[in-house]
Every structure is written in C-alpha cells, then in structure tokens.
Structure 1
Amino acid sequence: MIEAAMIWNEPNNKSHWDPAIDPEWVRFGQMVNLAADAIAEANPDVIRVLGGISPIDPSFMNRMKRYGVLDRVNAVAVHGFPLDWNLWSIHEWPKKLDEIRAVTDLPVWVSEVGISTFGAEEVQVWGLQRTAELLKGNAERIQWYSLFDLPQEWGATTRHREAEGSSYYRHFYMGLVREDGTPKPSLEEFAKHTPEMGLVQWFHYLDPRLDDAVKLMKQLGVTHLRTGLSWADSFRPDALAWFDRQMAALEDFKVTVTFCFTPEHRGVAPHHTSPPQVPEEFAAFCAQMIERYAPRSVQAEKPRELVY
C-alpha cells in the first residue's frame, strides 16, 4: 500500500520541530538516519523521502547533506505557499526548485503546495491554475494541499495558533471542499490536472471523512496521495485497528506515508515537536509500519516489535 515513506514533516519549521532543543538539527539528522536505515531494511523498494522543508532553504539541505541524511534517502521534498505564508511570489516556483537542485542531485518533490480561500475562493482557482503551469513537468511529484478544509473545532498544528492572526486562520481554508462538504470552484479546476497532480490529505485519528475522501479522490482521477501515520497516535487505544482501516481504504492509491509527531511521553520535552528521548524508538515505529503495510514480496522474517 505504501509507495514512499516520508521521514518527518517540515523539520525546519518550529511548528513541527523544536529548534530550542535541537538548534543545529543534530538530533534530527541522527533520527532520520536511523529511520531511513530501518525503512530500507524493512523494504528497500519503498522510496525514502526527507520530510518536506518549509521554508525552502538550500542551507538546511546542505546541513542534511553534511549529516549524511541525503546519502540515505531517495528524494527530498519542499513545501510552498506563496499566496499565504511565504515571502516570495508564486512566479518564483522554478527558481525555488533550482535552488534545491543546486545542492543535491536527488529528485525534488513538491509534497505540499496550496492556496487558501481565506480571502476569496477565486484566488484559489487562479493560484491552482498558475501552480499547475509552473510545476507540471518541472517537479518529480506534485501534491496539492488539501482535499478538505480543516474543521474549525479541530485546531491547526502550529505553535502559536490565534496569536498568528490571519496566518493561523488560513490553515482552515486550504481545501478544495468546504467543511460542510460542498465543493469550492477550485475542485473542478483541480480535476483538469490529475493524475499529474496528486493530493495531500491528513486523516486524524478515527477521521469520519476517510470514506468520503476515497470516493471523491477516485472521481477526481487522483492516483497518488500523501497522508500520515502518527507515531503519537500509535499509543492511542486501538491505534493499529485505525491504521489498518485507513491504509486498507487507501489501497488503490500510490501512497506516500509521512511518519512524524513525537508522543509527549517519549519526547525530550512533552510536545509533538520534540526530538525523541530514544531516536531508535521512532525508527522502530517506521519499520513496523513498513513491514505491516508495504512488506517485501517475500517476507520470511518475523515482523519486528516496537521498542520502548
């Protein structure tokens, strides 16, 4: 079910990795190296991708090269939201990709790109059209964020929430479909760009939107999807049953699964952005998920147990 494994999400964004604990990303590099090796051992055919960086920063990529991370992955990824959060023009997308290609020969994926409808839904339609013009044929993978708007009561995964002002509220309007299930004008436009464009859709624990998402993605002609399996969620009651249901529902797609989110009780600090106390535990989680959902074609070994 898993075509690619993405190791973490936006590691150079303090909403996803705490730079106060790991200011030089040394712990991060160690963790990624352990996870990449564990994934390769579990199934070397699964594409290993460094978690999409945001902002797009070639100096961060060079740091990962120095730490040996780029020797262990098959692709790197970037995230860009120039009409909402980034301080560069949407027309600079080719330049941004070239900045990363200047420091690595690995394929560069655009694993999140999107436009919010916070200001006007018409902006998203234009932004989708222009993004497709700039990126189709210029990136090895393009994954639009996202299918559904984020429900207001769920809260966005960001450090400062309402203190961020309009930047925070834009998180809730990134979908092609409104929270009430009605389509935005951009949904029809997106269908013109599949299957070259894929989707990003994060499914929360026991997410009631799962079946509707699968049905709609098939109607849209989506073939590749990026989603996540949360290390933190693995400690919830019946977590494996939920993971099994999620991955079974997505079996008709080429899935990039993102492994991230530190369980509070396993972090250096009690927060999902914290480096783990024992990075081998995160690597063991990644390996277990690969063995469960992307086993080798001939898997003689007994699936490994999580190590805590």
Structure 2
Amino acid sequence: MIEAAMIWNEPNNKSHWDPEIDPGWSLFADTLDCAARAVKAEAPHLPTVLGGISPIDPTFIRMLDGRRALDHVDVVAVHGFPLDWNLWQINEWPAKIAEIRAVTPKPIWVTEVGVSTFGAEEVQVFGLDRTAELLVGRAPRIHWYSLYDLPQAWGATTRHREAEGSSYYRHFYMGLLREDGTPKPALEHFARHTPALGLCQWFHYQDHRLDEAVAWMRRLGVTYLRTGLSWADSFRPDALDWFDRQMEALAEFDVTVTFCFTPEHRGIAPHHTSPPQVKEEFAEFCAAMVRRYAGMIRPGPALGPQPAI
C-alpha cells in the first residue's frame, strides 16, 4: 500500500536537478511547494516527503524552509554512500542525521543508502551490517539501495560520467543480486536486518525484473519499499498500463512512491533534470497518480516517531 509520496529525487544533486538553469533552487522550491499542495489536496493524510538530498546538506534544508517550500512537506529524506562517493566515513552516519535534525523538526528518513561491490563483494557485507548498526533506531525508514545491480546496457542516471572516472561504474554494482539474478554474499546479511531495513528499487518502464523482485522481497522479509513513477514515462505508449501493473504487483508492501523526471518536451531544457516549463503540470501528474492509486493508500500517518540519538 502507498504509505508516502516523495517529491523528486536528490534535488541538490546535478544528476537530478540542473543547477545551471536553477542556481538558487528557487524554481525547485516553487515546484516542490506546488506539488506538495496538489498531493495534500487529493489525500490530506498521505505523508509527503522531500526527495532525498545528496549530499546531506543542512544549508539546503534551511534554504527550502526559508522559502516556505517545506510547509506542506511532512518528512525530510537523506541519501548517503560513504563507502563509494561521499567525502565522509561510514561511522559519521549518526552525526549526519544530527546535522539535519538540528535544522528541522520533521522526521528524517534515509531513503537511499548502499555499498557497491565494484571493488570487492566483502566490502558490501561490512557496509550493510555497519549501516544497520548505525541507523536502525535512528531513522524511522532506512531504504537499502538496491535489490538488483543496474544492467550494464541501461546506463546510470548521472550528468557527469566523464568526470567520475571509475566512480561512474560503481553505479552498476549496488545490488544485493547480480545482473543475472544470482545472490551476492550480502543478501543473506540483509535478511538478518529485515523488517527494520527496507529496500529502494527503481523499476524501469516495462521492467522484466518486477515479478522476480516481488518474490525476492517476500523471501527476504521486506515490508517496505521505495520506488518511482516517472513523469517522463507517463508520455510513453501504454504508460498507465505499466504503472497499474507495477503498483498492483507491489500492493502488499508499504510503498513510498517517488515522483520525478521531467519529460524532455516539458522542460526548460530538453533533459529529465530540467525544471519544468510549467510547475503545475508536474503537480498535476503527482495528483493524478495519487488519485489513481488512492484506494491503495495506507490509512493514517506512516511517519513513525522520530527516534532520539
């Protein structure tokens, strides 16, 4: 069942929101506020979540709050990958949560955290167990990224692969399962931490892994999941049929649905990271998806108490 609606993904990361078009994030602040209001108009009790920020930056939260963009947002989310891309160590997770807690009273969810097996699969085992040790009890939601490796043929969602060098290829090895579906050593460790840990798994349009992913999540004891419905994909042929199939397949889990990705023809620039030409169009997409799947919304708030450090 839908337990929350997340608005955008990593808005302070240039791989997901273009800072050259919107250097001060004023357009993002307006888009966030407009979309959050639209979701609340359709489902007043459905929690709204700020798309997980990456890097974890309290200044960004202060800026949005100063613009009143968080007035209709119930949860602030963060993403962290200290063993792969961040310039801080894994043991700093409690301090990173505390930095955000110092600037907002809203619950803080960790909606993406993971470890690549690009270097060694044993590193993922260590990172998974240490992440659970550091975050369980400190965040009401912890979404491990991800169940599957990214297929080599698909390409990672990033604007700066040339500048990343080998770091770019870490994107392809974040799964607990390899591209061919075989388990990595960390899979068994993950099962020891469910249901406290959930998953973040993006499903591409007509993703062939959907049914197998559901079977794995049942086997692993997963109860909550984060995934996405793409505004850009909504313009594909038979998009609603695919969205229906995806949401019906995931109905047994508590799902945080992420709304993001600008259609090329509706962006200020022709790219999925572009601010929309008309923010109300994105807000209407969010509202339409909530309206379409309103029967799947979990009754009552799903925020959970904000644990003390």
TM-score range, shorter chain: over 0.9
Aligned to 2:151: 151
Matched to 1:164, the amino acid is: E
Is residue 43 of structure 2 the alignment partner of residue 43 of structure 1?
yes
Q: CA deviation at 1:70?
A: 1.9
Aligned to 2:112: 112
What is the SS of the residue equivalent to 1:177? coil
TM-score, normalised relative to structure 2: 0.95
Provide, for residues 92-143 of structure 1, a one-character-per-residue CA deviation record: whole Å limited to 9, x for no partner.
Answer: 0000000000000000000000000000000000000000000000112100
Aligned to 1:245: 245
8 Å CA contact 1:80–1:114 kept in 2: the answer is: yes
Let me know the Cα RMSD of the aligned residues.
1.0
Provide, for residues 200-225 of structure 1, a one-character-per-residue CA deviation record: whole Å limited to 9, x for no partner.
Answer: 00000000000000000011000000
Matched to 2:227, the amino acid is: T
Is residue 113 of structure 2 the alignment partner of residue 122 of structure 1?
no
Provide, for residues 220-263 of structure 1, a one-character-per-residue CA deviation record: whole Å limited to 9, x for no partner.
Answer: 00000000000000000000000000000000000000000000
What is the SS of the residue equivalent to 1:69? coil
User: Can you give the 5+ residue segments of structure 2 that lack an aligned partner in the other structure?
Assistant: 298-309
Q: CA deviation at 1:294?
A: 2.2
Q: CA deviation at 1:163?
A: 4.1
Matched to 1:213, the amino acid is: A
Q: CA deviation at 1:161?
A: 2.2
Matched to 2:59, the amino acid is: S
**Larger displacement relative to structure 2 (269-278 or 67-76):** 67-76
Kindly tell me the number of residue pairs found equivalent between the two proteins.
297
TM-score, normalised relative to structure 1: 0.95
8 Å CA contact 2:33–2:70 kept in 1: the answer is: no
Q: CA deviation at 1:160?
A: 2.1
Which structure ranks higher in relative contact order (CA pairs < 8 Å, sequence separation ≥ 6)?
Answer: 2
**Distance in 2 between residues matched to 1:126 and 1:88, nearest whole Å:** 16
**Distance in 2 between residues matched to 1:164 and 1:127, nearest whole Å:** 22
Provide, for residues 61-93 of structure 1, a one-character-per-residue CA deviation record: whole Å limited to 9, x for no partner.
Answer: 000101112211110000000000000000000
User: Can you give the 5+ residue segments of structure 1 that lack an aligned partner in the other structure?
Assistant: 298-308
**Distance in 2 between residues matched to 1:45 and 1:217, nearest whole Å:** 27
Q: CA deviation at 1:2?
A: 1.3
**Distance in 2 between residues matched to 1:2 and 1:149, nearest whole Å:** 25
Identity of aligned residues (%): 73
Question: Which aligned segments of 4 or more residues in structure 1 are displaced greater than 6 angstroms?
Answer: none
What is the SS of the residue equivalent to 1:274? coil
